[in-house]
Structure 1
Amino acid sequence: MNSAEISNVRDSLRVRLLLPVLALVLVVVIVLTIVLAVTQANRVRTNANESIERQTSALQSLFAVTRSIMLDRVHSSMRLLQRDGGKLGPVSVGPQITVGGRPANDLLFGGQPQGNNFALVDSVTAIDEGTATIFARTGDEYVRIATNVKKDDGSRAIGTVLDPHGKAIQSITKGEPFYGVVDILGTPYVTGYDPILAGDGGGKRAVGIWYVGFKTNLEALEKVVADRRVLDSGFIAIFDANGKLRFQSKTGATTDPAQIEAISGKAPDDWTVTKQDVPDWGFTLVSAYPKSDINGTILKQSLWIIAIGVLVGALLLGMQSTLIWNRVLRPIQHLTTVADELSKGKWNNTIEEVDLKDEIGTLARAISRLSNSVRLAMERLSKR
């Protein structure tokens, strides 16, 4: 058997030995890759949801703390307004007047008309800042007859009426005060409304409303929201009770207000959109991200897992190939060479494999005995 034939046998045996190993490694790598990819996909989704939960929870807490702090100021200002108003004297309904171009009933405090009289409301806000108003009941409406709430043009909002569909009017109609966040002329205020009662004994009736409020200073919140995002292209947005976009993420790939409003409103199928009410504010907190962000992250991490799996598989296959070569193929190759030379009458080869304790060692010892037998037989023949 020449060297080419020996090499072919060796290579053929190597292939036969490595094929099962290769198949096993491939199966293990594929199974592990699938398991890890599925696990990683679930982890990515979980992390995304946890990130949204953490961010929205922090924003909800910030809203709650802001409201609590501002309500303390509202209660303080309300006590001051009612105290100063009470010092003027008892409340009664005055004649009809014109405020802001519309008719309204006047209110008299100790006989002093309050319509178009801003001394009381301005004295309160001069101490605690904020805004103050005296509403007079005119028919079924409550008209601002004295206020320092400003309209967009900077003028006092006298003659305007309390929102007939708002949260405050519902409590006032029941004779109950209202404290909370309301929209005043398009701007959210933390407010307090308390009925103004006239008469005495059991005949007291609501003839107007005390109001104090503070325009919500949400610059800190706006900054926090602007710096937040979800994954690469997602966003966080806050809408007021009228559906107006107040704050939004300004990082990431989705920052266009029109696009944010469209996604928040329509919740397209290729986006995951979550909405939460902000208690006591009437706001809606929206968090959204495109499903492609999740799929892209999963694909990237799956490719990494596959690459690592292939690398580990190649290393295992290389180690197995080296082991097979050193422990099996090289001894067999040497024994094959010895047997081939023995068939040609050469019996003086050293067979080191006789020390092995496996089947190859058994084969080596058999070839060694055969070599000794051939050598002895040749020596006897040469002596005749």
Structure 2
Amino acid sequence: MFGNSLRARLLLPVLALGLAAVIATAITLAYVEAARVRNEARASIDGQVSALQSLLDVTHSIMLDRVRSSMLLLRQEGDEQGVASAGQPVTVAGRQANDLLLGGKSQANVFQLVDSVTAVMGGTATLFTKTGDDYVRISTNVKKADGTRAVGTMLDPKGPVIGEIRQGRSFYGVVDILGNPYVTGYEPIYDHGDPRPIGIWYVGYKTDLDVLNKVISNSRVLGSGFIALLDSKDVPRFHSNTAAAADASFISKIIQQQPTDWTVEKYNVPNWGFTLVAAYPNSDIDQLIVQQTVWIGLVGLLMCVLVLGVQYLLIQNRVLRPIQNLTQVADALSMGKFDNVIAEVALKDEIGTLAKAIARLSNSVRLAMDRLSKR
């Protein structure tokens, strides 16, 4: 039986030791691989988020320079028309608002000033007038969704701008105008001698984020994760278009619910009021760990088989074959055959010692038989 053979006694301990080593190595490397995969996922997210933040930061800086130049031109052309003052109530797009006068001339529903500025600088321009606690657009080339001028609409009473204007301070930054992000500048308009603003100078540029959209659309985290850009109202504006992430409703659900089987991380975008979200299912990590562990196990088993193969050849050539030859010599000796050649006597190990002993025994038996035959 193989289980009782010398071959089995020599190979089975090696096999058991090899399997134990493979299992121990696979478990150890699985923990190491888990840490590596998580670190790589973290590095991937950090790298993509950093690149997007840098892109937004450069875009903001360039556009803000244009805003300041455009504001300077608007103020200069406004000053050329004359001193600002509050006028009588007028109607703009069906809304009652105080008129704004420049050099005594009404600006309500008059677009020459704002259009001349944007003809040179691009972007948009607006004149607001203070009406009660609100500020109403009475001259603008900001367009509504239907393509008409947004005259009669109000400055967001809950936005970041109105608080600064009420304190007599200018505001430069990103705001949401009629559902779109603009890089803007707002400066208060004063009546001569009155410390309270009677209106607002405005210039702004609608953000062209097509490049950002392309970058985010092609981004991904692990196998089925995503990156999304949320606007100031936490609405996904851009998002990855890979795998399940192509579904905007799915992305919104993950961001809002943050299920336990997902890792969801948020990053603020300075100067924009945006939020970058990176998310991935934990199963992506587990799948990669399992795949790597299986490969490690297979490689370990292959190495174990190779070691066993080499061990088998060594045992067969260095141990079993010499023993088989010596067994044949012993059998022949027991049947009175003394002329066997014992090549193993040349070996320098224990088998060689055994072969020498058998050779001496054979010679002794042969001499004894010779003496008996002469009597």
Shorter-chain TM-score tier = over 0.9
Residue 178 of structure 2 corresponds to residue 185 of structure 1: yes
Alignment CA distance shift 1:380-1:302 (3 Å): same
Structure 2 distance, partners of 1:253, 1:288, is 12
Structure 2 distance, partners of 1:153, 1:9, is 89
Residue 324 of structure 1 is aligned with which of 303, 315, 325?
315
Residue 131 of structure 1 is aligned with which of 124, 128, 133?
124
Structure 2 distance, partners of 1:249, 1:184, is 25
Residues 335 and 351 of structure 1 are in contact (CA less than 8 Å); yes or no, is this contact kept in structure 2? yes
Residue 180 of structure 2 corresponds to residue 204 of structure 1: no
Task: Give the Å deviation of 1:277.
Answer: 1.3
Structure 2 distance, partners of 1:148, 1:9, is 94
Structure 1 distance, partners of 2:320, 2:361, is 21
Task: Give the Å deviation of 1:9.
Answer: 8.9
Q: 1:351 is matched with which residue?
A: 342
Structure 2 distance, partners of 1:347, 1:358, is 24
Residues 229 and 252 of structure 1 are in contact (CA less than 8 Å); yes or no, is this contact kept in structure 2? no
Report the count of equivalent residues: 375
Task: Give the Å deviation of 1:24.
Answer: 1.3
Structure 1 distance, partners of 2:32, 2:314, is 34
Alignment CA distance shift 1:342-1:9 (3 Å): farther
Residue 85 of structure 2 corresponds to residue 92 of structure 1: yes
Residues 141 and 164 of structure 1 are in contact (CA less than 8 Å); yes or no, is this contact kept in structure 2? yes
Task: Give the Å deviation of 1:253.
Answer: 3.3
Measured against aligned partners, the alpha-carbon deviations of 1:28-82 in whole angstroms (never above 9, x if no partner) come to 1111111222212221121111111111111111111111111011001000000
* Equivalent residue runs for 1:42-191 within 5 Å: 42-191=35-184
Letter in 2 for 1:167: P
SS at match of 2:339: coil
Letter in 2 for 1:114: Q
Residue 249 of structure 2 corresponds to residue 258 of structure 1: yes
% same residue: 61
Residue 19 of structure 2 is aligned with which of 5, 11, 26?
26
Q: 1:283 is matched with which residue?
A: 274
Task: Give the Å deviation of 1:11.
Answer: 6.7
Q: 2:325 is matched with which residue?
A: 334
Task: Give the Å deviation of 1:128.
Answer: 0.7
Residue 361 of structure 2 corresponds to residue 370 of structure 1: yes
Structure 2 distance, partners of 1:9, 1:51, is 54
Deviates more, 1:347-356 or 1:364-373: 347-356
Deviates more, 1:71-80 or 1:280-289: 280-289
Q: TM-score, normalised by structure 2?
A: 0.97
Alignment CA distance shift 1:322-1:11 (3 Å): farther
Q: 1:232 is matched with which residue?
A: 223
Task: Give the Å deviation of 1:285.
Answer: 0.9
Letter in 2 for 1:337: Q
RMSD: 1.4
Structure 2 distance, partners of 1:161, 1:123, is 23
Q: 2:208 is matched with which residue?
A: 217
Residues 131 and 147 of structure 1 are in contact (CA less than 8 Å); yes or no, is this contact kept in structure 2? yes
Letter in 2 for 1:157: A
Structure 2 distance, partners of 1:361, 1:174, is 105
Letter in 2 for 1:265: Q
Q: 2:374 is matched with which residue?
A: 383
Q: 1:4 is matched with which residue?
A: none
SS at match of 2:146: coil
Letter in 1 for 2:174: V
SS at match of 2:10: helix
Residues 3 and 9 of structure 2 are in contact (CA less than 8 Å); yes or no, is this contact kept in structure 1? no
SS at match of 1:253: helix
Residues 191 and 212 of structure 1 are in contact (CA less than 8 Å); yes or no, is this contact kept in structure 2? yes
Letter in 2 for 1:151: K
Structure 2 distance, partners of 1:90, 1:150, is 28
Structure 2 distance, partners of 1:9, 1:108, is 109
Structure 2 distance, partners of 1:214, 1:379, is 121
Residues 244 and 250 of structure 2 are in contact (CA less than 8 Å); yes or no, is this contact kept in structure 1? no
Q: 1:3 is matched with which residue?
A: none
Alignment CA distance shift 1:353-1:309 (3 Å): same
Q: 1:5 is matched with which residue?
A: none
Residues 239 and 245 of structure 2 are in contact (CA less than 8 Å); yes or no, is this contact kept in structure 1? no
Please, which runs of 5 or more residues in structure 2 have no aligned partner? none
Structure 1 distance, partners of 2:29, 2:365, is 61
Structure 2 distance, partners of 1:52, 1:291, is 14
Deviates more, 1:33-42 or 1:179-188: 33-42
Task: Give the Å deviation of 1:265.
Answer: 1.0
SS at match of 1:58: helix
Residues 199 and 205 of structure 1 are in contact (CA less than 8 Å); yes or no, is this contact kept in structure 2? no
Structure 2 distance, partners of 1:275, 1:81, is 38
